[in-house]
Structure 1
């Protein structure tokens, strides 16, 4: 009898705990939620972050505020979120460098897999190789020929060593045998401004951030590092069309929370993201820029992050960072 009473009490406590968790999830968010971005305001990741903040605010009926913490190829933002309370009130709007940075900054204070709870991969976009309008080239073929004639003379801008733009250019160098001078910046806007001005000769641009300048001819697009031509740049060929099918660069954005964040909160956020990427607002803002909208599940996003970390582990063994 006493044993039965004890079991009943334990079951009651378990039910109370489950009920408390459900109530807590139902009330989320009960205070402002901070979405931390590792890049400058106005850049492609920031644009996605602000769309996400508005969508989550509308869907979950709470305040979502974007906070920009650029630096160290987004590591400052990642470290901030990894160290935050795992309560769902500090989130990370991450980009592709998240899975690369551990190989660039071996002393970083977080792990891309262990320090976060994946919520959803929001979008991806191909890189676009572009050159300054002051360059004497109009096609990719002319660019490659010039680069081969002048080893280490042409420059390329990136958002930092080991980042998406840098790895894309190193991959291009591997495939073609060209050799160029690396010029790192703290953010995408710096790369774009100096490319327009001719301070640097070339750069892999994220299509979602640079499309207006690419379309206006302020920088000259030469090739798309994705599977198909972009609707906004129908006359620009893919690298595959140019005989370089291995030249692929994907700039993605996804939402993550600190490790240990309650699963009901993760599920609420993921459900809201899945709905948001189907909205007219997201489609109108991102698809014309060359983005592919995703909005997958936490489990699917986690598997993709694991695969990317494994991929970059192998890739970084083949290149020398400068």
Structure 2
């Protein structure tokens, strides 16, 4: 009995010591978050300089840098559909000074590749920074006036749809539109926007889901048509363009987006602090104006809400990719 009592005391002491250690560690992390950052932050952008992801990341993190009082060093690591830069971040120290900017393509890649140099569990979500609404453009050669007429036409006639490459947002949205409406539609991948627009205007390409920045001026001059936008709400600067839901396609919401991830193990108080700072930055008038000019809508979500978006899009894109039998391996 004495032995049992002694063991119980030892166990109680060990438990108390563990709790004390945990409390000290939690207090230390909280203190670190309060003083964070004390040195420059590194943000990897897994795309080329000057692209939309790069510009949005620089625009937002310039404002973040001012609020945190430390420089944000942006490193462009393009290649392999963004997987090179993302993989590099997965191997970086989880010290609160390493982050990566990703597009919706991050969730596409989970099903597009059979083998990735990282796993989704290698990261923690930080913030859904901004949405990129995707508009439906068509050639003037098509005898259609709206998205519903396009779907009806495509059930009886062959169509093709363009994108900037296999697995791109335009590819996935076009594939889903074709699948859900049982269209006879062929995907045509391109390298860059210029040849896509030239072929769309000439009628070599029938339709395209794309951000408004490049194609919209041509729609304004009547060289192509804009039929709808695949977002939840109409774009403020284009109030006459209906959403896909308004055009007769319930539940067809497929924005591209930009978000921030951190290596797994990054202290949650630091993740939360950066998330709140990003939200403040994207909702500031100066950043909001710049994002709107680029065709983006600022969001600035909590880490939990961003993880929910990642999970939802991963499941949705998996279904699209499986049906389309697409793979880059």
What is the TM-score normalised by the length of structure 2?
Answer: 0.80
Q: 1:161 aligns with which of 154, 161, 166?
A: 166
Partner in structure 1 of residue 228 of structure 2: 223
| 8 Å Cα contact 2:166-2:189 kept in structure 1 | yes
Partner in structure 2 of residue 82 of structure 1: 90
Q: 1:206 aligns with which of 207, 211, 214?
A: 211
Specify whether residues 104 and 236 from structure 1 end up closer, same or farther in structure 2 by C-alpha distance, changes over 3 A only. same
Partner in structure 2 of residue 127 of structure 1: 134
1:238 has 2:243 as partner: yes
Q: 1:46 aligns with which of 54, 62, 70?
A: 54
CA distance in 2 between partners of 1:293 and 1:48 (Å):
10
| 8 Å Cα contact 2:172-2:317 kept in structure 1 | no
| 8 Å Cα contact 1:138-1:220 kept in structure 2 | no
CA distance in 2 between partners of 1:176 and 1:5 (Å):
66
Partner in structure 2 of residue 67 of structure 1: 75
Specify whether residues 32 and 167 from structure 1 end up closer, same or farther in structure 2 by C-alpha distance, changes over 3 A only. same
Specify whether residues 295 and 6 from structure 1 end up closer, same or farther in structure 2 by C-alpha distance, changes over 3 A only. same
Q: Per the alignment, in what secondary structure is the counterpart of residue 78 of structure 2? A: coil
Instruction: Summarize deviations over 1:111-141 as a string: whole Å, max 9, x none.
Output: 23x11111111222321112467x5667446
TM-aligned CA deviation for residue 194 of structure 1:
1.7
CA distance in 1 between partners of 2:188 and 2:73 (Å):
32
TM-aligned CA deviation for residue 10 of structure 1:
7.1
Partner in structure 2 of residue 32 of structure 1: 40
CA distance in 2 between partners of 1:305 and 1:210 (Å):
28
| 8 Å Cα contact 2:130-2:298 kept in structure 1 | yes
Specify whether residues 136 and 10 from structure 1 end up closer, same or farther in structure 2 by C-alpha distance, changes over 3 A only. closer
TM-aligned CA deviation for residue 239 of structure 1:
2.5
RMSD of aligned residue pairs (Cα, Å): 3.4
Any gaps of 5 or more consecutive residues in structure 2?
1-8
TM-aligned CA deviation for residue 256 of structure 1:
1.0
Partner in structure 2 of residue 105 of structure 1: 113
Q: 215-224 or 92-101, which moves further after superposition?
A: 215-224
CA distance in 2 between partners of 1:55 and 1:104 (Å):
34
Q: 2:261 aligns with which of 245, 253, 256?
A: 256
Aligned length, in residue pairs: 313
Q: Per the alignment, in what secondary structure is the counterpart of residue 133 of structure 2? A: strand
CA distance in 1 between partners of 2:32 and 2:99 (Å):
18
TM-aligned CA deviation for residue 266 of structure 1:
0.7
1:177 has 2:182 as partner: yes
1:295 has 2:296 as partner: no
* Larger-Rg structure: 2
CA distance in 2 between partners of 1:307 and 1:27 (Å):
34
| 8 Å Cα contact 1:132-1:220 kept in structure 2 | yes
Q: Per the alignment, in what secondary structure is the counterpart of residue 256 of structure 1? A: strand
Any gaps of 5 or more consecutive residues in structure 1?
none
TM-aligned CA deviation for residue 221 of structure 1:
2.2
CA distance in 1 between partners of 2:291 and 2:264 (Å):
29
TM-aligned CA deviation for residue 168 of structure 1:
0.6
Q: Per the alignment, in what secondary structure is the counterpart of residue 254 of structure 1? A: strand
Partner in structure 2 of residue 116 of structure 1: 123
